[in-house]
Chains A and B, each alone.
Chain A
């Protein structure tokens, strides 16, 4: 593997940060402290981390309803994320978006999305924008296996392909669309096979191996930046939790779950670091502790932040045009 040691530490930090954020979100949701739905990314951390390790702040991502991991890996601030989950005024969306809709324009995060497959189209627009403005920015479009049955997937890959748009389509194949396993919702084993229909490379990697993801994503990002167009990158991974918190996930066979738990991406990377003397057990514990205190601070920030003032409900939609034009 060609990843440098310092980068391995960063990969671990990112993955662990996502895991810690998600387990905390799980706990506060179970305690009834946050409203709405929460869809957790636990088990899929290597995908967002490996892919985003190649992105700059000015690159774009579109995300999904299971978006926390993408946003953290792209550099989102845990305090503002947590505050948004709590519906507080200090949240990324001032409490108007919630878990499923976090965005940060300054980091190129064009939003998590409550509609399965909607980000495909938006990613093509962002990629078109980069190409049109003649920058070398790229857009990464994250999506699940089930969203590849939506028309948006096909429309977007087709348009991105003919226009050579700098998008990397990253399929997080976690084997489930809500409760429906991949073998029940599509007749193919590898989503990447669909790349052939659009004349673009389709690559399948072990999505729980952060090095494999990073290596393949690096190639795809390089290809996009150099004007060669999109890639369909499929990362095989597994969703440890149910579709949403409150869904016990009883449709997932026990042996399947056990098998995937064995392949947990974070444990795998921790073992690798110990075996290769990159970090000792104690070094890892120190990193974990630092992350835990960052998460704790984020929760404290969220808890102490005020609720949005009610008049904010009519902000961020239109400006008062009529009064404005009458005054001219």
Chain B
């Protein structure tokens, strides 16, 4: 067992595979000697050298496109974008190229590539550096989408992401990089298998990324009122562990979905719709969703906190459906 930060765990996941497989390499803006904008690749340049940990110009389109070409021809690239927001600059390469190649070419080219995407708010980075674009990514067939909430999950999921033959979008919450946690297991966590972060019997809270921690705080608060919350972390948004959600709803019959995205059109809505379509008979109450207000993320601390969802919102949502 080892204590590690979320950022260190992501680095350890990448480093484990790089030590084993020389076809794994990392590139992105300032990932080399500088160690990455959030320090996630710190030390990797020294360990693996400039051939395998490569600084790119500020050109998001070619960073993603280069990963596509490299993955199609035998490498396993990990491309880092500084912020998920910059994905908009390279969206053709992701949506029309990476996501389509395997299917559109009849399966004879696959793309084992990972794109690392620091997401989320809470650090006063304002509207162009704070978004949660989960819905954009999960909407596109051909991509897999991972969003770890703990160091243990970050490490295990990174190993699986690198091993996967499809393009995996690895969302990291930038406000969690320094958060420490225990890492017991250094083996891959399969994509598509969620985790119960807290057992409970009255309501199922399905939360992702940093919202897992908000949900856990809310659950601790609600326990004081005698309300027992089960907190589920799907860990991967696609593939989604529907089975885990179903099993939990069989016990609790109530669902609250918590996501940091702007609520309108967010992936939380997709989970909600899936539950309505497939597990409606398990529900004793309407599904509640918690998300950010439908505005860009503001700069001022008080405004940002007002816009982003938090444990208090989760508490209200749970009470609202009990």
Contact = CB atoms under 8 A, between A and B. Distances in A.
A124 B62 contact: yes
Interface in A124-170: 124-130, 132-133, 139, 151-152, 155-156, 158-159, 162-163
A121 interface: yes
B271 to A, nearest CB: 15
Interface stretch (A21-29, A213-221, A224-232, A320-328): A320-328
Contacts of B286: none
B43 interface: no
Contact of B109 (A103, A132, A326): A103
Nearest to A104: B108
Interface residues of A, number: 51
A317 B239 contact: no
B66 A111 contact: no
B69 A110 contact: yes
A155 B29 CA distance: 13
Contacts of A132: 25, 51, 70, 75
A287 interface: no
Interface stretch (A1-9, A90-98, A245-253, A262-270): A90-98
B74 interface: yes
Contacts of A110: 69, 72-73, 109
Given A101-B104, A103-B105, A121-B62, A321 B191 contact: yes
B246 to A, nearest CB: 12
B200 interface: no
A125 B190 contact: no
A304 B108 CA distance: 23
B105 A97 contact: yes
Given A124-B65, A128-B66, A317 B109 contact: no
A315 B110 CA distance: 13
Contacts of B266: none
B243 A125 contact: no
Most buried by A among B56, B97, B191: B97
Contacts of B77: 125
Interface in B175-233: 190-193
Contacts of A254: none
Nearest to B71: A125
Interface residues of B, number: 47
A15 B101 CA distance: 28
Contacts of A322: 192-193, 239, 241-243
A130 B73 contact: yes
Contact of A105 (B59, B108, B191, B239): B108
Contact of A159 (B23, B56, B97, B241): B56
A114 interface: yes
Contacts of A159: 56-57, 59, 62, 66
Given A122-B69, A125-B67, A125-B68, A316 B96 contact: no
A118 interface: yes
B274 to A, nearest CB: 13
Interface in B54-89: 54, 56-57, 59, 61-62, 64-75, 77
Interface string B91-121: 0110011000111111111000000000000
B148 interface: no
Nearest to A100: B104
Given A93-B106, A110-B69, A322-B243, A121 B93 contact: yes
Contact of B61 (A96, A129, A155, A326): A155
Contacts of B102: 316-317
B109 A129 contact: no
A153 to B, nearest CB: 10
Contact of A156 (B62, B241, B243): B62
B113 to A, nearest CB: 9
B104 A93 contact: yes
A122 B191 CA distance: 27
Contacts of B74: 129, 133
A114 B65 contact: no
B141 interface: yes
Top 8 closest pairs, chain A to chain B, by CB: A125-B69, A121-B65, A316-B107, A93-B106, A155-B62, A94-B106, A325-B190, A122-B69
12 contacts: A101-B105, A120-B65, A121-B68, A121-B69, A124-B65, A124-B69, A127-B69, A155-B59, A158-B57, A162-B57, A317-B103, A318-B239
Interface of A: 60, 62, 91-97, 101, 103-106, 110-111, 113-115, 118, 120-130, 132-133, 139, 151-152, 155-156, 158-159, 162-163, 315-318, 321-322, 325-326, 328
Given A93-B104, A158-B62, 12 more contacts: A92-B106, A97-B106, A103-B106, A111-B101, A121-B69, A129-B70, A129-B73, A129-B74, A133-B74, A151-B61, A155-B59, A317-B141
